[in-house]
Amino acid sequence: MNNIRTNANKGISIIPEYIVYIFIALLLIIDYMPKDGYLVSNIQYLYISVLNFLIGIYFYVNSKMISSDIIPKLKRSYITRIYLVFLLICGLSFITAKNTSLVITRFTELIIVFCLFINLTILLKDKLYLLYKIAFIISISAFFQSGFALYNYSQLSRYVSATEALTNLIGNAGNINIFAASLTIKVPFLLLGITHFTSIKKKFLLFTLFIVATAIFLTAARASLLNLFLIFLVYIIYYLRLHSFNKSSLAKSFVLIIPVVIALFVSNQSLKKAKDNERYKSVTNRITQISTDDASAQARLTYWGNTIKIAQANPLLGVGLGNYRIESIPYEKFHENDFSVSLDPHNDFLEILAETGIVNGIVYLSLFVVILIINLRRIIKSTDENIKIVAVLTLMLLIVYGGDAFFNFPMYKPTMQLFFSLLLALTVVNTPVLANQALDKPLNIKLLPFFIVLTIITTYSAFIIYKASNLESEIANDNINMNLKGVLTGDEIINRMPKYPNVFYTSESFYEYAAIYYIREKNYEKALSCFSKASKINPYSGRINFYKYFISKEKGNLDSAYVYIKEAFYLRPRNLLFYKYATNLAAIKKDTLEILKEHKLFSEYRKTPEAWSVPAMELQKANFNQKSLVRFIDQGLKEIPNDSTLVKLKKDILVKKYTFEGQIYLSQSKFDKSLESFEKALKVDSENFYLLQSIGLNYYFSGKYKQAINYFLNAIKLPDANDGTAEYYIGICYLKSNDPENACKYFNLSKAKNFPDAQQQLNLNCK
C-alpha cells in the first residue's frame, strides 16, 4: 500500500511532529489511569480538559505555527456546523430540565469533547502524513491495554470461577461492553499498520492484533464482535480492490485474518472453562444469540420503547440533557425489579432524542450520516490514494463508534470520545491542499483566548464533578443502605454537598443518602428535612417513601407508616421488599382487601413464589376466611406448582382446621365425628405432633387404650413432644390396661419433662 505522502504545502502548518505524537500519547493514558472516585470517567474528563487547556496555551504562544486556513476550514465544514447546532440545542434543554445540575454535568463533558475535536483538527491539519506513526502509537496502547487485562484475568481465574473472572474483564473502562468497544475501535489502526509496516514492527502488530482480538472475544460483547467483523470486511475489500484480486494481495489479506482465527480458538478454549450456557459459552454461540428473543435484547427493546415514549411526551427540547437516568424511572416501574433502573437506554441516538428533543435527535443522527457520506464519497470518487486510506480508516472508526452508540452508551465514555473526536477531525482535515493556497496569511488568533477561557471553565466544572464522584465513592464504601454506621456522618454529607451533579450515577440524590445517615444516627428530624429536598430531585424510586415508613413506624405512628409504605409499593410495584412490608402492615391493619390488591399488581409482573406465599402468610395473620385462603393458595399452586412454602401453608391451614374441628367434637364426646375430622387432618400431615396426640386422646376418652397408646407413642417420637402430656397419658393407658411397669416408666418420662400431674401418679402407683 502506498505511503501517505508528505504534503507539498505542509509548511502551512509547522507545528512540530513531536507535539502531535506527545498529545496523542498523553490522551491514550486515560486507558491506564487508576480509578479515583466512583467512576473512572470523571477523572478522565478532568485530565482531558487539562490537556485541552495546555495545548490551547501552546497554540496561543505559537499561533504562527498553526495553519492559516484552519478556522475557515472549520467554519465551512458541515461537521462543525452540525456539531455546534447539536451542542446549542443540548444547552437549550436546560430550559425544560427538572434537574439542571445533570444538564451542567453532561454539557461540561460534551464541551470537553468538542474542544478535543478542535485541538485534534488543528494538530492534524497538514499532518496526515504522520498517520502511520500515529497508528503505531495507538497500536502500542492497544497492546498494553489488552495485555494488562488478559494478565489480570489469568491471575484472577486462579482464585475465582472462570465466569467471575470473565465478568471482571473490564480493563479500566468500568464496563465490559465499553472495554470491548475501546479495544475494537483501535483495531483499524492495527490493520493500517500491519499492511504498511514490515519486519519487526509488522510482527509486533500481528501479535498485538492477536491479544486484542482474544480480549474482545473473551468479553463476549456482541456489538463489538459484530463491529470487528464489519471493519475486517471493509478493510479487506478495500485492500483487495486497491491491489487487485491476485495471489499476493489475497495472501496479505489472509495474514490479517490468521491472528484473529488463533484468538478465536484460544478464547473458545477459555470460554469452555466457564461452563456458562448464556454469555460465556463460546464466541459463535454468543453471536447467534443476536435476536429479539434474547433476554438482553428484550431489555434493550423495552428501554428503547420507553425512551420513545419520553420523547413523544417531550418533543421540543426533551426532558433535559442527562435527565434520562431520573425521568425514565416512572416508565420502568412495570419492567424493572426491586431497585433496578436502566440509567441509560443503551442507545445514544434515542437518549439524545428523549433528553434534548426530536429535532436534536435528528441533528445528532445526521452528524453520523454526513460523516458516512463524506467518507464514502472520498473512497469512491477521490483519485488520491492518501485521501482514500484516511477515509477508509475514518469509516471503520465510524462503524465501531456508531455501532456501539446504537447498542450501548459510548457518548459519555472518554475512552470512546477520544476516537469520536479523532474521526471528526480526520473527516474535516482529509482534503487536498489547494495549489494556490496562501502561505503567509497570518492566523486570526482572536478566538484562541476564548478557547482557552472555555477550557478553563470546563476544567473547573470537571473538577467539581470529580469531587462529587469522590464523595459518591466514599458513601458507596460505607454501604450505609445495609450498615448501621459508616465512616461519614449526615452532617459531613451536607457540608460536602456537591454543586453538581446532585445525584449519584445510580440516580439517588445525595440528600437521600444524607437522610439515611441521619436515620442511622436517630436524628429523624434532619432525615425528614433531607428527604423533603431529595424528593424534589428524584421522587420516583420509592426509597424515600420507604424510609419515611421506617421513621413513622419507629415513632409508633402506624397510620402514617401505612400511607408511606403503600406509596413506595405503588411507585415500584415490582419491588419485593416494598411488597413484603406493605402486605405485612396491611395484615396488622386487618386490611385484607389491600393485601389482595397488592398481590394482584405484583403477581401480574413477577411470576415468583413470593408473589403468592407472602400475601398468603399475611392473609393468615389477618384472620382471612380459611376457605377463601385455601382457594387463594390453590390458585398460587396452579401458578407455582409444588412451591414448598405454599404447600406447607396449605397443609398447616387444613390440619389446623380439621384438628380444631375434631377437638370441638371431642369436647362434646362425639368420638366418631371427632375421629373423622382428625383422620382428614392425618391425610394432610401424618407427622403432626398435636394431631397424633389429639387422636390418642380421642381413643383414650372412648376407652380404646391400646389404640390410644399407639398414637401417643408415635407422637412422642416427634420434636414437638416436649411437655410430657403424651407420656402421661401413655402411663394412664397402661394403668387402665393393667401394665403398671410400663405405666411407671412413662410417668417417670413425663415427670422428667415437668408435667405437673406425673408426680402424683408416681406416688400412687409406683412405690
Q: What is the pLDDT of residue 442?
A: 55
| CB 767 within 8 Å of CB 737 | no
Look at residue 509 and give its three-state secondary structure. strand
Tally Cβ neighbours within 10 Å of residue 293.
7
Nearest Cα residue to 639 out of 602, 667, 676, 665: 602
Contact 317, 95 (CB under 8 A): yes
Instruction: Decide if 607 is inside a domain.
Output: no
Quote the pLDDT of residue 434. 52
Domain-embedded: residue 668? yes
Rg (CA), the chain: 36
Residue 176 lies in a domain: yes
Q: Which residues pair with 509 in a beta bridge?
A: 503
The Cα–Cα gap between 66 and 58 comes to 10
Q: Where are the alpha helices (DSSP H) in 6-130?
A: 17-28, 40-61, 70-76, 78-92, 100-124
Closest CA to 459 of 42, 41, 114, 49: 49
**Per-position DSSP letters for 557-614, written without gaps between them:** -HHHHHHHHHHHHHHSTT-HHHHHHHHHHHHHTT-HHHHHHHHHHHHHH--STHHHHH
Residues in the chain: 767
Contacts of 567 (CB under 8 A, 6+ apart): 542, 545
CATH of the domain at 724: 1.25.40.10
Residue 721 lies in a domain: yes
Residue 206 CB-density burial (10 A; 0-12 exposed, 13-18 middle, 19+ buried): middle
**How many Cα atoms sit within 13 Å of 662 on the Cβ side?**
27
Residue 247 buriedness (CB in 10 A; 0-12 / 13-18 / 19+): exposed
| CB-based burial, 250-275: b 16+ in 10 Å, e otherwise | eebbeebeebbeebbebbbebbeebe
β-bridge mates for residue 503, sequence order: 509
DSSP-based three-state secondary structure for 618: helix
The reported pLDDT for the residue numbered 278 is 62
Question: How far is Cα 719 from Cα 703, in angstroms, rounded to an integer?
Answer: 27
Q: What is the Cα–Cα distance from 49 to 215, expressed in whole angstroms?
A: 29
Domain that holds residue 177: 134-290
pLDDT at residue number 725: 87
Residue 728, domain member (yes or no): yes
Q: What is the dihedral of CA 189, 194, 195, 198, to 10 degrees?
A: 140
Spatial separation of the C-alpha atoms in residues 608 and 593, rounded to whole Å: 21
pTM of the model: 0.86
**C-alpha span between 755 and 361 (Å, rounded):** 81
Q: Which of 290, 305, 338 is the last residue of a domain?
A: 290
Task: Measure the CA–CA gap between 456 and 461, rounded to whole angstroms.
Answer: 9
Nearest to 153 by CA among 140, 167, 143: 167
| Residue 530 belongs to a domain | no
Q: Distance (Å, rounded) from C-alpha 422 to C-alpha 416?
A: 10
Joined together, the cell numbers standing for residue 245 give 484480486
Q: What is the pLDDT of residues 444-465, one digit of tens each?
A: 667 789 999 999 999 999 999 9
Residues 6+ apart with CB under 8 A from 324: 307, 310, 343, 344, 345, 351, 354, 355
Give burial (CB, 10 Å; 0-12/13-18/19+) of 703. exposed
Sequence-ordered list of residues with C-beta below 8 angstroms from that of 22, at least 6 positions apart, any chain: none
Q: Which of 33, 54, 42 is nearest to 109 (CA)?
A: 42
SS percent in the chain: helix, strand, coil, step 5:
75, 0, 25
Is residue 750 a contact partner of residue 721, using CB atoms and an 8 Å limit?
no
Q: In which residue ranges of the chain is pLDDT below 50? A: 1-11, 435-436, 438-440
User: What are the E-state strand segments in 357-457?
Assistant: none
In a domain, 151, yes or no: yes
Note if the bond before 573 is cis, omega within 30 degrees.
Answer: no
Neighbours of 148 (CB within 10 A): 15
Q: What angle do CA 669, 675, 681 make, to 5 degrees?
A: 135
pLDDT of residue 239: 86
- Give the SS3 label for residue 709: helix
Question: Considering 240, 259, 290, which residue would you say is the last residue of a domain?
Answer: 290
pLDDT tens for each residue of 132-156:
999 999 999 999 999 999 999 889 8
Residue at a domain's end among 275, 290, 305: 290
Residue 664 lies in a domain: yes
Phi-psi region of 724 (alpha: psi -120 to 50; beta: other; left: phi over 0): left
Confidence (pLDDT) at 2: 45
Q: Angle at Cα 639 formed by Cα 635 and Cα 644, nearest 5°?
A: 90
Handedness of CA 720, 722, 724, 725 (dihedral sign): negative
Bridge partner residues of 614 (DSSP):
none
| Cell digits of residue 681 | 387432618
Q: How many domains does the chain have?
A: 2
